[in-house]
Structure 1
Amino acid sequence: MKNVTIQRSSDSSSLVSLLIDIKNLLKGKVLIANVFPVFTAFWLALYFQGEQFSDHIGLFFLTLIGSTLVISGALMLNNWFEVDLDQNMDRTQERPTVSGNFSLRSVLLAGIVTTIVGLAIMFFTTNEALLYSFLGWFVYVVLYTFWSKRKYAWNTLIGSVSGAFTPLIGWAAIAPANHIVPITLFVILLIWQVPHTLAITIRRLEDYTRAGVPMLPVVRGVQVAMMHHLIYIIALLPLPFLLIEPLGWIFFVVAILLTIIWVIHAVKGFQAKDQKQWAQTSLRFSLIYLILLFLLMVILTI
């Protein structure tokens, strides 16, 4: 009986370790931050097209599962290709490609297969949603991971384009995305990802310097990066005006207030005694900002 108990405990521990490795491989929070806009845009498209969710449950699961797999495939290929960089960074030491828990060959194969399966599932949604899924994957994997990240300080902008496709995927599964709401969400995500990423790179400056990744704080210094960080947050301010008519004044007021709070925090960063701690706080607020904004969109259209 004791041996059985020990075996069960060992199996449970192995399962937990496997799940943790998978979470680290898929960059947990990054995956969620990319899938949530797909769901939000899908929901909003139903609302503005006058459709019932109950009539599109099958399409909903196809879209969520397919897009999640495509995004997961892109993240796995990113980890596979960047293992040499990750080995020199403290923040990535728990990734299974670095620890050796997953072989590079298996991660490469999993990334390719997951991408293909995800795109195959998206084929059964709409051609437009399939196209946006592929474009998001292509920009992240080919243009960002394979091409620009190791060469150019503006690689962050390219990475931002890939993430901005996610609301277009969700909306296009229901209707063409030539509507002010998905287009504005695309721009919001495009801009939002820059200060979010800059906060990460400022917080982990030594990591990126040691790995030789030419991120903006590494190439041009923290003060320049902080100025870019502030400018991009300010660039978010006009966007809620575009959504007053479709989403109402409650959304507008909340979105403006959140952005102003973020701007104030960004300004305070120039006088911060501990800029790494400031960057960590900015990083957290950027996630809160995104979650609250997209969650509010759903609540207001229930």
Structure 2
Amino acid sequence: MGMSKTALDINASANSSRWSDLQSLFKVTVLVANAVPVFAGFWLAAYFTGASFAANLDIFLLVMIGSTLVMGGALVINNWYDTDIDQIMARTQSRPTVTGNIPLRTVLWIGIATSALGFILLMFTTWEAVQYTFIGWFTYVVPYTMWTKRRYTLNTVIGSISGAVTPLIGWAALAPASHIVPIVLALIIFIWQMPHTFAIAIRKYDEYKAADVAMLPVVHGMEITKRQMAIYIACLLPLPFYLFSLGTTFVVIATVLNIGYLVLAMSGLFTNDDEKWARKMFLVSVNYLMIIFVMAIVVTLPWLG
């Protein structure tokens, strides 16, 4: 006799719940957002060094899977460490570390094992790629999660380092990442992450305040945060001009994006509805980074032919 419909439904619901717990634990959207610059870094390294993408497919898979596992491990350890503040903040209350769906001890071991497996795979690429990945993992887990996040507004700058290394990881798996292109792409991510994170902090101001997390708007207020967002975005303006090797189309589109982003940031200095403006800033920032990196790949696509 087969299982009853109710039993099947319960089983399907449990599997679905387990899957959503794992997605929440590994912060899947953050993982995908970090995987794109790794891919772009590798792709552009192949383009600029004249290496065959197909001939290096094994290295490509190792660096993509390895770096994603390491980043996933760091995010899981962050979840494990932040359980107390995640209980207070509405946006994180459904995480399995808060609901108790996955025991905390298990969460920690998942984070450690995933990170270790990722590093093992990366060791089959290059030592330089391993080093950049370790810098990203270490800064996110120790100086960011365990030290500055709750104490200093500088936490955003520290956390930005872990995102900035992603194009360097992809590039270094194939060639030394001392080339201007991966360095400028890393700088773009580093600077971009500040206004991106501040937009979230403004939207979730009450939650961060309740959890006593030292985000800039909580400690120093909205006006300073909005001014800093505009200043950081202004710092993005010159960077596309160092990427003329990607072609004029790339530089023009990136510059138009920068100007549009800055205009929106400046409008925040005159708005009365901070939350509505911050929501626009957040959506623009997410799309901004994706467009920059997808465009870097698209403009070099003809190389395949």
Q: C-alpha separation between the residues in 1 aligned to 2:155 and 2:27?
A: 19
Q: Deviations over 1:247-281 (max 9, x none)?
A: 01100010011111111111111222321121111
Displacement of 1:127? 0.3
Correspondence for 2:253: 254
Q: C-alpha separation between the residues in 1 aligned to 2:190 and 2:142?
A: 18
Q: C-alpha separation between the residues in 2 aligned to 1:10 and 1:36?
A: 36
Correspondence for 2:85: 85
Correspondence for 1:97: 97
Q: Deviations over 1:28-80 (max 9, x none)?
A: 22111111100011000010010111101111110000000000000000000
Is the aligned partner of 1:200 residue 2:222?
no
Q: C-alpha separation between the residues in 1 aligned to 2:199 and 2:212?
A: 18
Q: TM-score, normalised by structure 2?
A: 0.96
Q: C-alpha separation between the residues in 1 aligned to 2:203 and 2:31?
A: 21
Mapping for residues 115-154 of structure 1, pairs under 5 Å: 115-154=115-154
1:101 aligns to what SS in structure 2?
coil
Q: C-alpha separation between the residues in 2 aligned to 1:141 and 1:190?
A: 17
Q: Deviations over 1:7-39 (max 9, x none)?
A: 322222222111111111122221111111000
Q: C-alpha separation between the residues in 2 aligned to 1:291 and 1:121?
A: 26
Q: C-alpha separation between the residues in 1 aligned to 2:272 and 2:50?
A: 52
Q: Quick check: 10-19 or 39-48, which moved more?
A: 10-19
Correspondence for 1:54: 54
Show structure 2 runs of 5+ residues with no match. none
Q: C-alpha separation between the residues in 2 aligned to 1:76 and 1:23?
A: 10
What is the root-mean-square deviation of aligned Cα atoms in Å?
1.1
Displacement of 1:93? 1.0
Is the aligned partner of 1:298 residue 2:301?
no
Correspondence for 1:162: 162
Displacement of 1:298? 0.4
Mapping for residues 271-282 of structure 1, pairs under 5 Å: 271-282=270-281
Q: C-alpha separation between the residues in 2 aligned to 1:284 and 1:29?
A: 14
Show structure 1 runs of 5+ residues with no match. none
Letter of the 1:217 counterpart:
P
Q: C-alpha separation between the residues in 2 aligned to 1:56 and 1:16?
A: 36
Q: Deviations over 1:171-206 (max 9, x none)?
A: 000000000000001100110100000000000000
Correspondence for 2:262: 263
Q: C-alpha separation between the residues in 1 aligned to 2:279 and 2:109?
A: 34
The percentage of aligned residue pairs carrying the same residue is 49
Q: C-alpha separation between the residues in 1 aligned to 2:7 and 2:249?
A: 55
Q: C-alpha separation between the residues in 1 aligned to 2:285 and 2:163?
A: 15
Q: Quick check: 99-108 or 71-80, which moved more?
A: 99-108
Is the aligned partner of 1:235 residue 2:245?
no
Letter of the 2:75 counterpart:
L
Distance 1:274 1:294, change over 3 A: same
1:175 aligns to what SS in structure 2?
coil
Correspondence for 1:107: 107
Is the aligned partner of 1:36 residue 2:64?
no
Q: C-alpha separation between the residues in 1 aligned to 2:21 and 2:86?
A: 15
Mapping for residues 2-17 of structure 1, pairs under 5 Å: 3-17=3-17
User: How many residues matched?
Assistant: 301
2:4 aligns to what SS in structure 1?
helix
Displacement of 1:99? 1.3
Displacement of 1:3? 4.4
Q: Deviations over 1:125-160 (max 9, x none)?
A: 000001111111001001100111111111100000
Correspondence for 1:21: 21
